[in-house]
Each structure stands twice: as C-alpha cells, then as structure tokens.
Amino acid sequence: MKYPNSLKIFSEDETKNIAVEFSKDLKNGDVVILNGDLGSGKTFFVKEVGKHFGINNVSSPTFAIVNEYLSRIKLYHFDFYRIEKSEEIINIGFNDYLNDNEAVIFIEWGELFSKILPRKRYEIKIMLNEDFSRTFKIDKYD
C-alpha cells in the first residue's frame, strides 16, 4: 500500500480488504493511531487486522485501556477515549509498551493525547460520509 492513501469504501467487506492489505505492511515495533467518530469502525478495523495475524478475539479496550494479544504477532490495543489525563496512560506503563519492539501497537482515539505519541507511526483517520460510506485516510510518518 502506498502512503499517504485515501480510500472511500461502502461495505464491511471493503474495510476487511483494507485491513488485510494494510496488515501486509506491518512489522514488529509499528504503532498505528486510529481516529474517527464513535461508530466509524476503528475497533472493527483492528479486529480484521488481528484476524489476519491469527487473533480472533480482539475486543474494544475502552474500559481496560489496553488489551494484549499473542499469536503470530504480539498486538497491544489501546483506547484513549475514557482517559482524562495523559498521566493515566503513562502510569500504566505506556512507554514500556512503546519500547516493545516485538509488538504492533494500535491506539484508538490517539488524537486526544497526541503529545505522547511516537513520531514514527501510521495514522488512520476514518470519516463517516453523508452517503453512508467511509473514507480511510492513511498516513505514514517516519
């Protein structure tokens, strides 16, 4: 997949296809930020990436803050939605997670605490359109 990339999709199957294609570019140590309105498909996207790597039980970490999965890859899945202060994220060992070069990290609602995000990352913005389609805008920052 080339970056930046903008894709307009109309179905869950198309979202699955984007997730599979995107998965092919991921490697250990990558951080992926997902932003978008409630219900835009952030967790669904992570679930589909997880399936690509043999992880079939990905769920929303909204209340847990972070879920950890191990299969063909180690995957950390964060959700910053309910966090009020960046100290809460730091206090659960966020920097240790970021320094785990054997894992891929997904962070939903990363834009809420952009100052603590690593410079090197993928950013995916999922936008809901008036015609009920979605637009995925994917950027890569080195």
The model carries a pTM of: 0.94
Q: How many domains does the chain have?
A: 1
Q: Which two tokens stand for residue 72?
A: 């063909």
pLDDT score at 116: 94
Domain with 50 in it: what CATH number?
Answer: 3.40.50.300
Question: Residue 52: is its pLDDT beyond 90?
Answer: yes
Question: Residue 62: is its pLDDT beyond 90?
Answer: no
The secondary structure of residue 40, as a DSSP letter, is S
Using DSSP's 3-state secondary structure scheme, residue 83 falls into: coil
The arithmetic mean of pLDDT across residues 16-44, rounded, is 96
Which residues, 6+ apart, have CB-to-CB distance to 61 below 8 Å?
67, 77, 78, 79, 108
Residue 12, domain extent: 5-141
Query: Whose CA is closest to 60, among 44, 36, 73?
Result: 44
How confident is the prediction for the chain on average, in pLDDT? 95
Region of poorest pLDDT, from 10-19, 40-49, 56-65: 56-65
pLDDT level of residue 95 (50, 70, 90 thresholds): very high
